[in-house]
Amino acid sequence: MSPSPIARRPLGPSGPLVPPLALGSWNIWDRMSEDEAVEIIRAAVAGGAGFFDVAYYNMGPHAENSRTDILFGRALRASGVARDDVVLCGKLWLWDWPRTGFRAQLEESLERAGLDRFDAVVVGDYRDAPEPERLVEEVGALLDEGLFDVWGINNWVVGDTRAVIDRAAASGVVPPTFAQLKYSIVRRSMAEGQPYRELFEDGMLGLQASDSFEGGVLLGRTPQRKIGADVGGIRERIAAAAPEVARVAAEFEATPAQLATAYCLAYAPTTNVLFGVSRLAQLADNLAAVRLAEQSGAEIRAALAHLWLDDGVAADGTW
- Does residue 2 carry a pLDDT above 70? no
pLDDT 10s digits, 244-284: 999 999 999 999 999 999 999 999 999 999 998 889 999 99
Structural domain contains residue 98 = yes
Omega before 256 within 30 of 0, i.e. cis = no
The pTM assigned to this predicted structure is: 0.94
Structural domain contains residue 316 = no
- Burial tier of 140 (Cβ tally within 10 Å: 0-12, 13-18, 19+): middle
Share the mean pLDDT of the chain: 93
Structural domain contains residue 235 = no
Q: What is the mean pLDDT of residues 108-135?
A: 94
Structural domain contains residue 179 = yes
Flag the least confident range among 64-78, 128-142, 185-199: 64-78
- Does residue 11 carry a pLDDT above 80? yes
Confidence of residue 116 (pLDDT cuts 50, 70, 90): very high
Q: What is the pLDDT of residue 6?
A: 84
Collapse the DSSP code of 18 into the 3-class scheme (helix H, G, I; strand E, B; otherwise coil) and give the result.
Answer: strand
Residue 253 CB partners (closer than 8 Å, separation 6+):
none
Distance in angstroms (rounded) separating the CA atoms of residues 267 and 121: 23
Question: What is the domain extent for residue 207?
Answer: 17-229+268-287
Q: What is the pLDDT of residue 182?
A: 96
Q: What is the pLDDT of residue 28?
A: 86
Distance in angstroms (rounded) separating the CA atoms of residues 122 and 312: 27
- Burial tier of 16 (Cβ tally within 10 Å: 0-12, 13-18, 19+): middle
Residue 101 CB partners (closer than 8 Å, separation 6+):
138
Structural domain contains residue 300 = no
Confidence of residue 305 (pLDDT cuts 50, 70, 90): very high
Distance in angstroms (rounded) separating the CA atoms of residues 17 and 217: 31
How far lies 302's CA from each of 95, 182, 201, 252, in Å? 38, 20, 21, 12
Query: Residue 71 belongs to a domain with what CATH number?
Result: 3.20.20.100
- Does residue 153 carry a pLDDT above 80? yes
pLDDT 10s digits, 44-83: 999 989 999 999 988 777 767 789 999 999 999 999 999 9
Distance in angstroms (rounded) separating the CA atoms of residues 275 and 273: 6
* Segments in 11-113 forming alpha helices (H): 34-47, 68-79, 102-113
Structural domain contains residue 45 = yes
Q: What is the mean pLDDT of residues 142-147?
A: 97
Distance in angstroms (rounded) separating the CA atoms of residues 135 and 92: 11
Confidence of residue 4 (pLDDT cuts 50, 70, 90): low
Contact between 228 and 211 under an 8 Å Cβ cutoff? The reply is yes
- Does residue 310 carry a pLDDT above 70? yes
What amino acid is encoded at 229 in this protein? Answer: A
Q: What is the mean pLDDT of residues 171-181?
A: 97
Structural domain contains residue 3 = no
- Between residues 162 and 48, the one the model is more confident about: 162
The candidate with the shortest Cα–Cα distance to 130, out of 90, 173, 159, 171, is: 159
Q: How many domains is the chain partitioned into structurally?
A: 1
- Write out the H or E segment, with its range, that includes residue 198: helix 194-201
**What is the percent of the chain with per-residue pLDDT over 90, rounded to a whole number?**
81
Flag the least confident range among 77-86, 179-188, 226-235, 251-260: 226-235
Q: What is the mean pLDDT of residues 106-121?
A: 97
Q: What is the pLDDT of residue 1?
A: 38
Structural domain contains residue 239 = no
Name the CA radius of gyration of the chain, rounded: 18
